[in-house]
Amino acid sequence: MDRSRRTPVIAGNWKMNLGPAACRALLEELLAELPADPGCEVLVCPPYLDLPLAAELLVGSPVALGAQNCHWENAGAYTGEIAPAMLREAGCRAVIVGHSERRQYFGETDETAGRRLAAAVEEGLTGILCVGESLADREAGEELAVCARQLAGGLSGIDAAGLSRVILAYEPVWAIGTGRTATAEEAGRVCRALRRMAAERYGEEAAAGLRILYGGSMNEKNARELLAQPDIDGGLIGGAALAAGRFCGIIAACGEEGVL
């Protein structure tokens, strides 16, 4: 499928790191280092508490703001949750849903991830749906079956029009924060399979426009090879997004001749 239709995305998921003071320092450094036209979409997803400050710092910059989760209702008695409309009001354009850490530690299921994604898209946010197998799934040769199940559940409330506001992120759990990256070929193979699954559900045309990111120990050294895979349209970066130089290195790799 023709990848020229897909603008690459480099997104930083800060997870539960960097409060407002550290957020300011990192974003100021990032904005100073980043070229005016980075050659791809750049997104940062700091903790909720940083969002208003980050929105202010990013005005007029090439960096968009996202959050790390959202609820499926826009208001109500849901202690500790954040609504999609609130994220939008705070200046977010995107939100991550179904991250494996939410699944592993906070009881996220395919069904709840799907409800969050549908609500985010309904609110006009871009939803980044994370899928990916555990080490045990992979050792059992189940990686595609697990991804297919997570994809079907996560996309259950998304129609063909909504898909244009969805980005997929393939994040094998065993590669997250471990320094152990999937080989470029392996990551590329699963991302190709994800695109095929999307094509079965939404048609070739919609699947050809769907951005699929790789995440899991992606850094400034391995980014080029991963991004050169025809079905990998960017990265969802954890640890390496917490240092401006490393994050900019990945963005630069994305813009290199012959990578995308």
**Catalytic residue selected from 99, 101, 133, 143:** 99
Q: Are strands 94-97 and 166-170 parallel, antiparallel or unpaired?
A: unpaired
Q: Distance (Å, rounded) from C-alpha 227 to C-alpha 258?
A: 10
- Cβ contact 229:188 at 8 Å: yes
* Region class of 22: left (phi > 0), else alpha (psi between -120 and 50), else beta: alpha
Stretch that binds ligand 13P, among 18-26, 160-168, 193-201, 238-246 (CB under 6 A): 238-246
Stretch that binds ligand 13P, among 47-55, 87-95, 152-160, 230-238 (CB under 6 A): 230-238
Number of residues that bind ligand 13P (CB under 6 A): 14
Place of tokens 């990192």: 26
222 lines the binding site for ligand 13P (CB under 6 A):
no
| Interaction residues for ligand 13P, span 53-82 (CB under 6 A) | none
Find, among 138, 215, 216, the residue nearest to 177 by Cα: 216
Stretch that binds ligand 13P, among 169-177, 190-198, 199-207, 224-232 (CB under 6 A): 169-177
∠241-183-256 over CA atoms, to 5°? Answer: 55
- The DSSP H or E segment spanning 67 is strand 63-67
Nearer to ligand 13P, 63 or 176 (CB): 176
Q: Distance (Å, rounded) from C-alpha 14 to C-alpha 171?
A: 15
98 lines the binding site for ligand 13P (CB under 6 A):
no
94 lines the binding site for ligand 13P (CB under 6 A):
no
232 lines the binding site for ligand 13P (CB under 6 A):
no
Q: Distance (Å, rounded) from C-alpha 209 to C-alpha 37?
A: 22
Instruction: Pick the binder of ligand 13P from 215, 231, 247, 248 (CB under 6 A).
Output: 215
**Least distance from ligand 13P to the Cβ atom of residue 236, Å:** 4
Angle, helix 51-58 to helix 20-33, in steps of 10 degrees = 20
Place of tokens 């917490």: 242
71 flagged as catalytic = no
Instruction: Pick the binder of ligand 13P from 154, 188, 238, 249 (CB under 6 A).
Output: 238
Stretch that binds ligand 13P, among 83-91, 155-163, 191-199, 216-224 (CB under 6 A): 216-224
Nearer to ligand 13P, 114 or 215 (CB): 215
**Least distance from ligand 13P to the Cβ atom of residue 132, Å:** 9
Q: Distance (Å, rounded) from C-alpha 117 to C-alpha 155?
A: 8
171 lines the binding site for ligand 13P (CB under 6 A):
yes
**Least distance from ligand 13P to the Cβ atom of residue 158, Å:** 20
**Catalytic residue selected from 41, 133, 143, 171:** 171
Cα 204 to Cα 52, 108, 126, 197: the distances in Å are 39, 30, 21, 10
SS3 call for 123: coil
Alpha-carbon Rg for the chain, nearest whole angstrom, is: 17
Which residues here bind ligand 13P, judged by CB under 6 A? 13, 99, 171, 176-177, 215-218, 236-240
Catalytic residue positions, numbered: 99, 171
